[in-house]
Amino acid sequence: MIKFILNKIMNQRKIVVSDPKVNIIYTPTTLVLVDDHKNFLETTRLELSEIAPCSIFDKPTKALSFLKNRSEKNNLSKRLQQFSNIKNINTLHEEIYNPKRFNVISLVIADHAMPGMTGLELFLQLKNNPVRKLLLTGAVSYAQAIKARQDGIIDSFIMKDDIKLVHKLKLAIQALTSQYFSKKTEALLLQDKNNDVTKKLIKLLADKKFVDQFHQIIDEHQIVEYYLLDEYGSFLFLDKKANPFWHMNNGRSPSEFKLEKENILSFEKYMENI
Amino acid sequence: MKSLMNPTLNTIWVFMKRNTLDAEPNFVAFGILLTFGYGVYYFAWHNVTIQPYESMPIRLVAILLCFCLALKDFWPQKLKSILPIYWYITLIYTLTFFFTFMLLKNGTHSLWPMNSMIALVFLVLLTDWISATFIISLGVSIAWVAYILTTPNPQIPDNLEGLIFTYIPILLAGGLFVNKKEKIHKEKLKSIAEVGVTIAHELNTPLATLTMGTSYLKKNLPLLLEAYHTAQSAKLPIPIFSENRLLKFENLPDAMEREIIGISTFIRMLLLNADPLLAQNKDDIFSINDCIDEALSRYILSDENRNLIQWKKENDFYVKGKQLLVTHIFFNLIKNALHYISVSEKGPDTGYIQIWLDHGKSHNKVYFKDTGTGIAKSNLPHIFDQFFSKTTHGTGIGLTYCKAVMKSLGGDIVCESKENVYTLFILVFPKYRPND
């Protein structure tokens, strides 16, 4: 046991933050937080309240049944299926009128040591669920966490006693939620990858200059969600008050899109109501 | 090399390392004593109380082994990793092979049965009984082979079985009594460490909760205070807080954060003290400047304390080891220094901490000086001992931790102090050369 602890302390733990990529869609999503310590759940939800809504569970079994229900009712994959052909991608941005779009669950964060069912056992049951999985662990389960990450049962883990816990948790949430959307993006683009238009789009989304420009817009206007508008790589961005920003390609103009602003539930409004 | 070994060999290797680590404080004394011993007694047996057989070459090998052992602090870093093997070879050669061979050559009617007994006592004092058994079997067998090969008419000495019966109680006594006190002390430390591990585990989530809450408070308290000021200027009926109290209010999250870091640091050190064999993991290579920077910034000193620190950020050097462990050394030194400055009779206003770096020929050094209360001369030799603390604030874990980590890096930490004037810690790091 002592060896595990030493390993734990001595391996500098770094969260792998994937390169900034551009997805075809990105929205704030709901996190599921599981820990048997209620105070920890409440406090963490408070701390994360500016980034993402959290559903909290003090029992893994409750979280499991919630996730099962949710994935049947509100599954982004299902909604994305209608865009199997890249040509009809131009209706993708209509998702902004969906007031439930922030309910999508992208990430489950669970403590390891819980009575009844450990965090790893919980994640094992979610093996086929597309949500990303982040384990919070203590000293003793470090070796287990490493192995679980190798086996693909979890995507990442953070030590609960890390001095930079808050910082690392936020970085991990950012990286993993973004990963959730990039998996969806990949799946969608690969369906139609032999099409010349798709090939061109894939190339554009990976183009460094384009990616930089894209992230500059996100930083500058504090964008919280964005949608691909067409196969040429035009995008619609919304900030948390749902103010629109545009990046148009191929000579298109924002005026072609008539936004019904009053019908968009902004992320800010959404957060006020929960 | 270690990764290639199979688990059994690895267990043996860890066992050897542990025992070598236990015996290491005796190496210099052992080396010097035996270097002289082998020389002086050559003349004693050769010229004064003349014994039938003597051999200078055999003694020279022993002298060389002991002499190098005495100089182990000056060994290059690379060689130090084989110290356990060297130690066992030295014991086998000098204490068992040599004395058995001499006994066989000179016969039981010489002075050698007595000499061998002394060697045996040495051995049981210096090792555990498993190692002693191994060393004796190997050393004695080699001595027999050497005796048979070098003697035209080898004979089993008279009364050998009588000698063996005399020696057995020494071995038994060694196994039973020697190091018992140390072993009990070690067991005690081990159980404390185990309790520490349990406590650390239990505190994990509560501490994480406090961390989360404090982080949120820190971010949002200024906004609330701003709202308070706005309400105040609008003359709304709100409770009155003095400016002074508001300021303290604002600093509260910082203070809480500092305490939380203090607690987690302490817990980590407790865990690290549970096992001094730290060197088994993959190392980082890091800049000492970065490491000190990180320690200072993470310790979140108040402005007042920050001004106490005079850091000459030059002569940067690289260290091979675990950065996190070294950062914790600085946490620890900062914590101690701030405490002793604050309780110093000279008053906290005159105190300061100085940190500077120096390059040496084979070692690089970090100097960490504070002008706190200093350390009394009588306490100075004990400050790195486990659970030695002369203060009500300390636990006697911190400096022991510092020593263990520095040793694991192949370096050391030493302390100079003048009571009521200053305390100076010198952290000695082996020079890191990229092609090592």
Q: Which of A2, A47, A165 sits opposite B274 (nearest CB)?
A: A2
Cβ of B197 within 8 Å of Cβ of A47? The answer is no
* A79, A89 Cβ separation under 8 angstroms: no
Is residue A119 one of the residues assigned to a domain? yes
Is residue A240 one of the residues assigned to a domain? yes
Q: Please tell me whether residues A229 and A256 are part of one structural domain.
A: yes
Q: Please tell me whether residues A148 and A206 are part of one structural domain.
A: no
pLDDT at A16: 39
Tally of structural domains, chain A: 2
Q: Which of B201, B211, B216 sits opposite A138 (nearest CB)?
A: B201
Cβ of A165 within 8 Å of Cβ of B208? The answer is yes
Is residue A122 one of the residues assigned to a domain? yes
pLDDT at A48: 92
pLDDT at B62: 92
Q: Which of A10, A138, A161 sits opposite B281 (nearest CB)?
A: A10
CB-based contact, B325 to chain A, within 8 Å: yes
Is residue A54 one of the residues assigned to a domain? yes
Q: Please tell me whether residues A158 and A268 are part of one structural domain.
A: no
Tens digit of each residue's pLDDT (9 = 90 or more) over A48-107: 988 899 999 999 999 999 998 876 666 677 777 777 666 677 788 888 998 888 988 999
Q: Which residue of B has its CA nearest to A168?
A: B212
Measured CA distances, A240 to A226, A236, A268, A272, B192 (Å): 11, 13, 5, 12, 52
Is residue A88 one of the residues assigned to a domain? yes
ipTM for the predicted complex: 0.76
Residue A149 pLDDT greater than 50, yes or no: yes
Q: What is the DSSP string of A37-85?
A: -HHHHHHHHHHTTTT--EEEESSHHHHHHHHHHHHHHS-HHHHHHTT-S
Is residue A67 one of the residues assigned to a domain? yes
pLDDT at A109: 96
Tell me how far apart the alpha carbons of residues B353 and B368 are, in angstroms, rounded to a whole number: 7
Query: How far does B220 lie from chain A, in Å, by closest CA?
Result: 10
Residue A128 pLDDT greater than 50, yes or no: yes
Cβ of B284 within 8 Å of Cβ of A12? The answer is yes
pLDDT at B67: 93
Q: Please tell me whether residues A111 and A213 are part of one structural domain.
A: no
Residue A252 pLDDT greater than 80, yes or no: yes
Q: Domain span at residue A234?
A: 193-273
Partners of residue B200 in chain A, C-beta under 8 Å: 138-139, 161
Q: Please tell me whether residues A104 and A179 are part of one structural domain.
A: yes
pLDDT at B435: 61
Q: Please tell me whether residues A258 and A130 are part of one structural domain.
A: no
Q: Which of A1, A2, A166 sits opposite B211 (nearest CB)?
A: A166
Tell me the average pLDDT of chain A: 84
Rg (CA), chain B: 29
Query: How far does A210 lie from chain B, in Å, by closest CA?
Result: 34
CB < 8 Å from A in window 229-258 of B: none
Domain boundary at A167, A187, A207, which?
A187
Query: How far does B96 lie from chain A, in Å, by closest CA?
Result: 35
Backbone angles phi, psi at A105, to 5 degrees: -95, 120
pLDDT at B394: 60
Mutate to test the interface with A, among B205, B401, B409 (most CBs of A within 10 A): B205
Average pLDDT for residues A190-207, to the nearest whole number? 83
Q: Which of B267, B275, B323 sits opposite A161 (nearest CB)?
A: B267
Mutate to test the interface with B, among A47, A48, A146, A171 (most CBs of B within 10 A): A47
Mutate to test the interface with B, among A142, A144, A161 (most CBs of B within 10 A): A161
pLDDT at A194: 79
Tens digit of each residue's pLDDT (9 = 90 or more) over B258-278: 788 778 777 776 666 655 443
Q: Please tell me whether residues A239 and A130 are part of one structural domain.
A: no
Long-range contacts (CB closer than 8 Å, 24 or more residues apart) made by A230-238? A230/A89, A230/A90, A231/A86, A231/A87, A231/A89, A231/A197, A231/A198, A231/A200, A231/A201, A232/A201, A233/A201, A233/A204, A233/A205, A236/A93, A236/A96, A238/A96, A238/A264, A238/A266, A238/A267
Contacts of A114 (CB under 8 A, 6+ apart): A34, A35, A36, A59, A60, A122
Q: Please tell me whether residues A39 and A149 are part of one structural domain.
A: yes
Q: Please tell me whether residues A55 and A176 are part of one structural domain.
A: yes
pLDDT at B395: 60
CB < 8 Å from A in window 193-212 of B: 193, 197, 200-201, 204-209, 211-212
Q: Which of B205, B298, B325 sits opposite A163 (nearest CB)?
A: B298
Q: What percent of chain A has pLDDT over 90?
A: 40
Backbone angles phi, psi at B358, to 5 degrees: -150, 145
Q: Please tell me whether residues A142 and A172 are part of one structural domain.
A: yes
Is residue A55 one of the residues assigned to a domain? yes
Residue A133 pLDDT greater than 90, yes or no: yes
Q: Please tell me whether residues A179 and A206 are part of one structural domain.
A: no
Partners of residue B268 in chain A, C-beta under 8 Å: 9, 161
B436, exposed or middle or buried, with CB in 10 Å at 0-12, 13-18, 19+? exposed
Partners of residue B298 in chain A, C-beta under 8 Å: 163
Query: How far does B405 lie from chain A, in Å, by closest CA?
Result: 11
Q: Please tell me whether residues A107 and A197 are part of one structural domain.
A: no
Partners of residue B213 in chain A, C-beta under 8 Å: 43, 46-47
Q: Which residue of A has its CA nearest to B298?
A: A163
Domain boundary at A129, A164, A187, which?
A187
Is residue A152 one of the residues assigned to a domain? yes
Tens digit of each residue's pLDDT (9 = 90 or more) over B177-192: 766 666 777 777 677 7
Domain boundary at A144, A172, A187, which?
A187
- Look up the CATH number of the domain holding residue A136: 3.40.50.2300
In total, chain B counts a number of residues equal to 436
Residue A193 pLDDT greater than 60, yes or no: yes
The ranges of chain B with pLDDT < 70 are: 1-5, 178-182, 189, 193, 269-283, 300-303, 346-349, 386-396, 434-436
pLDDT at A6: 44
